[in-house]
Structure 1
Amino acid sequence: MNAPTLPPAAPRRPAEPLWLEWLTLCGGLAFCTWLLGVRGVWALLLGADPTGLTLIIIAVFLCSTLWCGQRSRELQRQRLLLAQPLQARIGERNWAADYEAALRCDAGTAADLLLELSHGPHGTAWWVNGIQLKLGLLGKVIGFSMLALTIGRMQSFDPAQSQELLRSLTAGLGVALLTTMVGLVGNILLGLQLTRLDRFADALVADIQRTALPLVQGEPWRPSARPAGADPV
């Protein structure tokens, strides 16, 4: 009986400039940050939020963006290592070598190992991305609570105190709206970066598995492992 034949390996796609894409995004964000500072938007945001939630959201977004830069650099490094000949990769610590070593022992474990290396850290990053949105909603709740407490303390309407009353009411409303807006913007921008990292990691996993197909002897070819949580076809 003839051994099952493996499908021919598809030509390797050229390495995408993921690191340069992140640097371009950071350049755009830096320009927007400078422009908002010149317009006085940052002073308005930080001064109108006595709770400090706006500053916390900005700090979370900044740290997460720096992590995305480090992750994009690592993913591109692994992609460049895969594109090199096998002799040039000897002695290098790379995911393809770990996958090929595990594949000789257990194909199922090798797939799990590769998915953990390529996508594992992204789960925590997506959780942090959701934290930004939740902090914005928390600021909204606090702002409306301040607004409700101010109205609840009103015994009677005194026209002489209307200016002070309006200032107290707008303070709570400003906290509610500004923190929600900052949380939404941070969630969108970080989600854009994480989605790009996930797609690049998906392509990298497919290329690594395609490269290692000749190591599977006596077994029919199987498609790449489906990421956890995906619906079966």
Structure 2
Amino acid sequence: MSTSLATPLVERWAEPDGAVLLRWLLLSGACLFGVQMAWSLGLLQKVLLTDSTQISAVIIVIYLGCVAHGGWRALQLSRAHRAFARVRACFRGNRHLPPEGGTEDWAGGYCHGLVSPTADRAGLREILEEQARGSHEAGWFLSSMLLKLGLLGTIVGFVFMLGAIDALKTLTYADLPQMLGRMGAGMGVSLYTTLVGLLANIALGLQNLMLDRSAERLVAGTLAFAEREWLPHTRAETRP
């Protein structure tokens, strides 16, 4: 296939410079705005004070760590897409690949590896896919774990409520307000931990989906470029 026909197929997977980082900033900014609104209305303080198990606080801390890691991955992917654009531009300009540069030049490393006499194309592809999206598995695991922590808080809250109900056998009428307070605290733990875990899971799910999509575009674009432009050119050069 000629370069003129192959180029649109490759460009279809290209991503604008800094697009993934911009999307991460927009998502994180929207979440930060929601947190600020909850703090201004006193909802966040109420959640943290009502949850005696501190499960909500643990969920928030893990969520913030995942957001920071997502930002770092968005920056890496943005650099990787920029390096891939440099590889394409250099090859189409002078029919040669630029030297590998930077730790995020995953596409260049893959294309350079293909011309090695002992090249293992399957192994090189696995390395490319691991570099592009391997660490995202931890993000999906933590996202799922936050939801499970919220469900754990639900169970703990119901245990508190059942303990208060079980104490009815020995309580007098004067102790009834205290018992109702314990039931309310248990219900608060149950509802708030579930709410915090669910919201954190949704936000991290959107972040991980965004990162995965960007990584898939990078891998697909690199493979299309290598198969439709770079390898046909190297074969034509070595053909007697």
**8 Å CA contact 1:81, 1:89 repeated in 2:** no
Structure 2 runs not aligned, ≥5 long = 91-95, 233-240
Deviation at 1:157, TM superposition (A): 5.5
Structure 1 runs not aligned, ≥5 long = 218-233
**Residues 1-233 of structure 1 aligned to structure 2 (within 5 Å):** 8-11=5-8, 12=11, 13-15=14-16, 17-84=19-86, 85-86=89-90, 89-93=98-102, 94-104=105-115, 105-156=119-170, 158-213=172-227, 214-216=229-231
Cα distance in 2 for residues equivalent to 1:14 and 1:166: 57
**8 Å CA contact 1:57, 1:182 repeated in 2:** yes
**8 Å CA contact 2:31, 2:203 repeated in 1:** no
Q: Over the residues paired in the alignment, what is the CA RMSD in angstroms?
A: 2.1
Deviation at 1:76, TM superposition (A): 1.1
Cα distance in 1 for residues equivalent to 2:97 and 2:122: 27
Structure 1 counterpart SS, 2:135: helix
Q: TM-score, normalised by structure 2?
A: 0.82
Cα distance in 2 for residues equivalent to 1:177 and 1:6: 61
Structure 2 counterpart SS, 1:118: helix
Cα distance in 1 for residues equivalent to 2:73 and 2:23: 12
Aligned-pair identity in percent equals 31
Q: TM-score, normalised by structure 1?
A: 0.85
Deviation at 1:6, TM superposition (A): 7.5
- Corresponding residue for 1:223? none
**8 Å CA contact 1:102, 1:109 repeated in 2:** no
Q: Cα gap change, 1:18/1:150 in structure 2, threshold over 3 Å: closer, same or farther?
A: same
Cα distance in 2 for residues equivalent to 1:135 and 1:64: 15
Cα distance in 2 for residues equivalent to 1:88 and 1:42: 53
Count of equivalent residues:
214
Cα distance in 2 for residues equivalent to 1:48 and 1:6: 66
- Bigger fraction of residues in helix: 2
Deviation at 1:89, TM superposition (A): 4.2
